[in-house]
Amino acid sequence: MRVLYLGDIVGRSGRALAVQKIPQIRESLKLDFVVINGENSAAGFGITAKICDELFEAGVDVISTGNHVWDQKETKSHIAGESRLIRPINYPAGTPGRGSVMVQDARGRGMLVINVMGQIFMNALDDPFAAVDAELKKHALGSTAKFILVDIHGEATSEKMAMGHFCDGRASLVVGTHSHVPTADAQILDGGTAYQTDAGMCGDFNSVIGMDKAEPLQRFTRKISTGRFTPAVGAATLCGVFVETDDATGLAKRIEPLRLGARLHEHMPIV
């Protein structure tokens, strides 16, 4: 199975490039599934129903989120009725939406996507390791789920790496989000799980993690705020991870980064 995971969409420029390029990438890489983190897609803060529809129409199968999932008021009602939009699984019981979803391709093969948020330097949610472990125990990789993807949304690289090893042999891909900078450690772990600490972002890299430079610089240099953060609107770059697995086991045979766009050195897997 071939799956593409794309990192956090930041604002209009990242969203527009994703919508434009995903149909072409699906065809050129012969993809079975596309998953994307959409929590910064609505002007940098949250996601809307309209944006969800645009991404699904472009060929996205599942949208994951993170700490900005509730920034748009409409999300609480929309997520309750849209199973393909998920939030971190370790939110307390009773939180709207769900933390995982199983989707199927045209051949009936199932992909399970689990979204979880780290605890280090993040909002205090339930234990991410216990939440992921409980979900993984419900599914058999290579059998009931041909591909299992874990998106760990967090600040600390150590916590993301620990999640990768915790899931090794039980997931097809563990990938980090939230930092908005693609890491150079794409690898297959000892047990066969593909791993990358952070997928990066889909947005304008002539920025401060996707935001227009003026306000972050003001806050760093003068320690005062003069306004809201707003997404940078220059030419965007798509960043993500491409993984190919063995259908019999669900374990990774190949992992490569994907970078496509204006500013970073481009890398496109070849199939």
Which residues participate in catalysis according to the annotation?
68
Token pair recorded at residue 53: 């529809």
- Residue 118 burial by Cβ neighbours in a 10 Å radius (0-12, 13-18, 19+): buried
55 in Cβ contact with 83 (< 8 Å): no
Q: What is the DSSP letter of 136?
A: H
Would the CA dihedral through 127, 116, 11, 240 be positive or negative?
Answer: positive
**Chain-centre distance of CA 113, in angstroms?**
10
> Which residue carries 């891909």 as its tokens?
173
Contacts by 124-128 with C-beta closer than 8 Å and gap 24+?
125/88, 125/90, 125/91, 125/92, 126/90, 126/91, 126/92, 127/90, 128/88, 128/90, 128/152, 128/154, 128/159, 128/163
Alpha helices of the chain — where are they, by DSSP H?
Answer: 11-28, 49-58, 75-81, 128-136, 157-167, 214-222
79 in Cβ contact with 51 (< 8 Å): no
- Rounded (to 5) percent helix, strand, coil in the chain: 25, 30, 50
**Exposure string for 186-221, b = 16+ CB within 10 A, e = fewer:** bebbeebbbbbbbbbbbbbbebbbbbbeebeeeeee
